Amino acid sequence: MPRLYILLTLLLAFSLVTGGSVVYADSVPTDHSRLDLRGACAALTTSFYASPECDAEMTADPAPPVVALAVDHGAMAGYTYMRVVVEGAVMVHNAPYGSPLYVLDPGFNFITPRTVQEHWVEINPGEWVRRDQLAFVSPSVFTGAFVQSEPSRPFGWFLKNLYASDRPGGPPVITPDKLLYRYQITYIYTTINVDGLDWYLVAPGKWVEQRLMGLAKRIPRPGGVQGRWVAVDLYEQTLVAYENDTMVFATLVSSGLAGFSTNTGTFQVWGHRLNGPMSGAEGQSDYYMLENVPYALYFDGNISLHGTYWHDGFGYRRSHGCVNLSITDAHWLYDWLGAGGGVHVYYSRPY
């Protein structure tokens, strides 16, 4: 594994020198925080937060015109991994109970199990790790959705199981009819700000605070971009795919954490890789080593859109700068966008 990994790392470094991202233009600050809201629900206030007219409007238009992308079980079946679950370094041996070969440094480490015996796991040909130092992980089955026609209003996903409030700024109402489910998709019918936080009306008598949702917001096509492109909203942690000016797909993502923020700007996909290792922060407490990261589309140096098997936290920042997607979403995007597609990264409001 070390020699193969070093070779792949050198190849990637060479590609960064010979073929980097193309930036069309600097990201121009634009106010995307205002939602395009209209109709009877837009007239609601903190004092009058319900009306028969608004309820009728929601009943007549109960859900966005989207169809979920089917889970790609074939792609997911190719990504069976185990995570190193012990603190400290892990010794790799040349055989079960054999001689030491090298050490896996402490960190966020995943390996590919080739052979699993009672007490040992072969992670590469002739490389074995004790079974009790590893645990199997399952990739997320979350998927985004195809947009069938122009939505009449903004829409988004709940980021956790939650109980809605019956008024903006109110406490959650713990009754079965107020229960909303993680990754459920819904329209936003109006927004009311309470103490600096937006509250979204998602159904009659159901209000949800903004930090519990990720919204897909339409934005204008950036200058210089034509054909297929994606918009990554770092505030909402969402990705929307467009064919010129037509919205065709939307999903939740996970971008860079504080200190590793994904750069804003308008880029072009300059390279792609079906799968390969990624690592970083060597010698630091947040060191990571990930084998066979799938469906990578590079757009900003070594920063890419790629599939993710190691977490199910879409809608929240999780990465060291890349844009994480579920394996199913990443596979679809890899085939649809490809090299040369546009990637616009922006904040719809300050984070």
| CATH classification of the domain holding 277 | 2.40.440.10
User: For position 291, what pLDDT does the model report?
Assistant: 58
- Round the average pLDDT of the chain to a whole number and report it: 85
| High-pLDDT (> 90) share of the chain, % | 63
> Do 252 and 338 fall within a single domain?
yes
Instruction: For residue 132, tell me if it sits in a domain.
Output: yes
> Do 44 and 164 fall within a single domain?
yes
> Do 181 and 103 fall within a single domain?
no
> Picking from 49-53, 242-246, 304-308, which range would have the lowest pLDDT averaged per residue?
304-308
Mean pLDDT of 317-326: 89
pLDDT digits (tens, 9 = 90+) for 106-155: 766 777 788 898 899 998 899 999 999 998 888 889 999 999 999 989 99
> Do 161 and 296 fall within a single domain?
no
Is the pLDDT reported for residue 11 higher than 80?
Answer: no
Contacts of 330 (CB under 8 A, 6+ apart): 294, 295, 305, 306, 307, 308
Q: First CA to last CA across the chain, in angstroms? A: 39
Q: Which residue has the higher pLDDT, 337 or 321?
A: 337
pLDDT digits (tens, 9 = 90+) for 213-272: 999 999 999 999 999 999 999 999 999 999 999 999 999 999 987 877 899 999 999 998
User: For position 308, what pLDDT does the model report?
Assistant: 87
Instruction: For residue 130, tell me if it sits in a domain.
Output: yes
What is the pLDDT confidence band of residue 89, given thresholds at 50, 70 and 90? confident
> Do 22 and 108 fall within a single domain?
no
Q: Rounded distance, CA 136 to CA 131, Å?
A: 10
> Do 121 and 161 fall within a single domain?
no
pLDDT digits (tens, 9 = 90+) for 58-75: 999 999 999 999 999 888
Please indicate, yes or no, whether the overall pTM of this predicted structure exceeds 0.75. yes
Q: Which residue has the higher pLDDT, 291 or 242?
A: 242
Q: Rounded distance, CA 251 to CA 328, Å?
A: 11
* Count of domains forming the chain: 3
User: Which of residues 189, 213, 237 is at a domain's end?
Assistant: 213
> Do 54 and 123 fall within a single domain?
no
Is the pLDDT reported for residue 288 higher than 50?
Answer: no
> Do 292 and 206 fall within a single domain?
no
What is the pLDDT confidence band of residue 48, given thresholds at 50, 70 and 90? very high
**DSSP for residue 172:** B
| High-pLDDT (> 70) share of the chain, % | 84
User: For position 138, what pLDDT does the model report?
Assistant: 82
> Picking from 20-29, 238-247, 270-279, 337-346, which range would have the lowest pLDDT averaged per residue?
20-29
What is the pLDDT confidence band of residue 37, given thresholds at 50, 70 and 90? confident
> Do 91 and 200 fall within a single domain?
no
Contacts of 223 (CB under 8 A, 6+ apart): 24, 25, 266
Instruction: For residue 25, tell me if it sits in a domain.
Output: yes
Q: Is the dihedral of CA 160, 163, 164, 167 positive or negative?
A: negative
User: For position 2, what pLDDT does the model report?
Assistant: 39
What is the residue range of 165's domain?
A: 40-62+152-213
Instruction: For residue 295, tell me if it sits in a domain.
Output: yes
